Structure formats: structure tokens, C-alpha cells
Amino acid sequence: MIVYTVRRLLTAVATVIGAVTLLFLIIRLIPGDPAVVMLGPRASPSMIASMRERMMLDESVHVQLLAFLGNVLRGDLGRDVLNELPVLGMVLDVLPFTIVLAFGSIVLAVLIGVPLGTLAAAYRNSWLDRVTAFVSVAFITVPPFVAGLLLLLLFAVELRWLPVSGGGVRGDVLNQARHLILPMLALALTWVGYIARLIRSSVLEEITKDHVRTATSKGLSPGRVLFKHVLRGALIPTIAVLGVGFGNLLGGAVLIEIIFNRPGLGFLIFNAIESRNYPVVQGGLVVAVFLYTLANVIADVSYGFVDPRIREA
């Protein structure tokens, strides 16, 4: 297991470096001179030159990349070129909002999706199964930003039960929780559908296995068989999906954060792209890539814990 974990971590490091390098190069493909865009029409050539120097834009791309990676390894994500704020501080300031949103969404998706899928499997081919299938597919096909707008219109604008925008008042947990509900729900819906479908098919596959038949023949109650023997096996593929899912949720969170005007990593990166604030874009992306990879590593390792075949492979 240790060897497996170490191997997985090394792969993760290579993934982070590769992804960051790729993103670094893609950012350079955004049309327009960042110095000109940032400084606007009043900028004189000397100001533009000075800004280009500060942003290292006159250096070749590989020099910029090496300097950037070196700084990242030292834990320095650079400084906002407009106000000199450390990027790491800016990212850490908004990161909890994104993590709470993504994590809350995945928990919510599991809490709704697993029972839904299990019920559908337990009552296979019944009207309940068909309704569940319809709801699941509907959830999967509605993009989070559409779900977000619909939820916002219904619960915030029409019914006025929940706030429209923002992340809530700092230090007021209840207020922050109210601001979290709609974005979390919008982001979770797709995964409710995925998880429900996945659990249903896993459960149906699991109940045909020998150890489940044995448990049933031993006289265990159907509920005990389901929770102790069927679900345990059925959850394995779900765990793997959740790792990837967490990463996707981070991506989906960008749009959700913009729609709900909610602070977070995606919102920070989006704003920085708008103003070509390279250090903030790069710093934000490094953290996003790191989180995505970390989520996958955790999923893989936990998958290995649950299924011995994985770690022995």
C-alpha cells in the first residue's frame, strides 16, 4: 500500500507540473498585450515598458516559465501587479469559499444520490425506478449554470427565501450558510443524477455476487444485506468517480461563483483573466490544479484501501 501511495503521489507531482506548464503556455495565447490592456489608453510607451518588465513579458516564455515554477516551489505565487497584494494570500482568502462549495455539493450529492440509486435498484423496474431514472437523467442533463439561474429565480427572486448574491457576512456562519444553499444545490444536482445512476447499476451488479447470496441464505435481513454487503461493494466505483467529480465540481464552481457573485477561486481567476492580471491567474490556476490532483490522489488511495486488487496491481 505504501509503494502504491508513493507511486501515486509521484505521478501526481508530475501531473501538477505538466498541467501548470500547459496552462502557463495557454495563458500566453490570450490575444492582446497584457500591459496595454491593464494600463489602458493613458499609458505612455515608458509605462507599458515598465509594466512589461515587471511582468517579465520581455523575457522568453521558457525563462518566464522557469522563474514561475521556481517561485511556486518556494511557495511564492507572486504579487498582484496592480496592488502588490501577495497572490497566495488572495487565493487563501477565497479558497475556503470554493472548498466549502465543492465539498458541500459532493456531500449533498452523495446524501441524495446514494439513497435514490439504492431505492431505484431495490425496486427495479417499478414506477419508482422509472421516476428515479427520469429525475436522474434530468439532473445530469441540466448544466449547473442553468440550474443555478432557475434556482435563483425561484427561491431568491420569486419566493425571496434565500439571498441572490454574495458569500455572506464574514464571521456570521448562519448568514454564510444561507448564501451557500442555492450555489451548493445548483452544483450538486448533476452529481445527484450521476451518483444515483451509478449506485443503481452497482447495486444491481453486486446483488448477483456470491457473497451477497451467501449472506441472504444465512438468513440476514434484506436491510442488513443491502447496507453491509451490497452497498459496501457498490460504493467502490462511486468513490473513484467522486475523486474526479470533486475536480469537476471545482470547474463548475467557476460559473456558479460568477452567477451567484460568490467569492471563490473561480471568481478570482475569472476577474484576473478579464484584466490580464497574469500573476493572479497563474497563482489561482496552480492552486486549482493542485486541488484537482489532490482530490484524485485521495480518491485513488482510498480506492486502494477499499479494494485490495487495486493496490496490488
Q: Report whether 240 contacts 209 (CB < 8 A).
A: no
The residue from 42, 74, 218, 309 that contacts other proteins (CB under 8 A) is 42
DSSP string, 238-296: HHHHHHHHHHHHHHHHHHHHHHTT--SHHHHHHHHHHTT-HHHHHHHHHHHHHHHHHHH
Interatomic CA distance for residues 128 and 109, integer angstroms:
19
Does residue 93 bind other proteins (CB under 8 A)? Answer: yes
Does residue 173 bind other proteins (CB under 8 A)? Answer: no
Does residue 278 bind other proteins (CB under 8 A)? Answer: no
Q: Which is nearer to other proteins, 133 or 156 (CB)?
A: 156
The residue from 19, 23, 65, 82 that contacts other proteins (CB under 8 A) is 82
Measured in whole angstroms, how far is the alpha carbon of residue 58 from the centre of its chain?
A: 35
Q: Which residues pair with 79 in a beta bridge?
A: 86
The residue from 114, 189, 259, 295 that contacts other proteins (CB under 8 A) is 259
The residue from 2, 3, 29, 41 that contacts other proteins (CB under 8 A) is 41
Total residues at interface with other proteins (CB under 8 A) = 44
Binding segment (CB under 8 A) for other proteins, from list 58-66, 81-89, 107-115, 229-237: 81-89
Does residue 171 bind other proteins (CB under 8 A)? Answer: no
The size of the chain, in residues, is: 313
Does residue 279 bind other proteins (CB under 8 A)? Answer: no
Q: How many C-beta atoms lie closer than 10 Å to residue 81's C-beta? A: 21
Does residue 163 bind other proteins (CB under 8 A)? Answer: yes
Instruction: Please report the sign of the dihedral spanned by the C-alpha atoms of residue 108, residue 110, residue 111, residue 113.
Output: positive
Binding segment (CB under 8 A) for other proteins, from list 32-40, 196-204, 205-213, 226-234: 32-40
Which cell is 273 given? 483573466
Among 15, 3, 4, 17, residue whose Cα is nearest residue 66: 17
Q: Report whether 120 contacts 252 (CB < 8 A).
A: no
* Residues 187-216 within binding reach of other proteins (CB under 8 A): none
Q: State which amino acid sits at residue 281.
A: V
Which cell is 141 given? 442533463
To the nearest whole angstrom, how small is the minimum distance from the Cβ of residue 254 to other proteins?
12
Does residue 44 bind other proteins (CB under 8 A)? Answer: yes
The residue from 32, 75, 171, 223 that contacts other proteins (CB under 8 A) is 32
- Classified as helix, coil or strand, 125 is coil
Does residue 177 bind other proteins (CB under 8 A)? Answer: no
Q: Give the interface with other proteins as residue ranges (CB under 8 A).
A: 31-33, 36-44, 46-47, 50, 80, 82-85, 90, 93-94, 152-153, 156-157, 160, 163-167, 170, 258-261, 263, 267-268, 270-271, 275
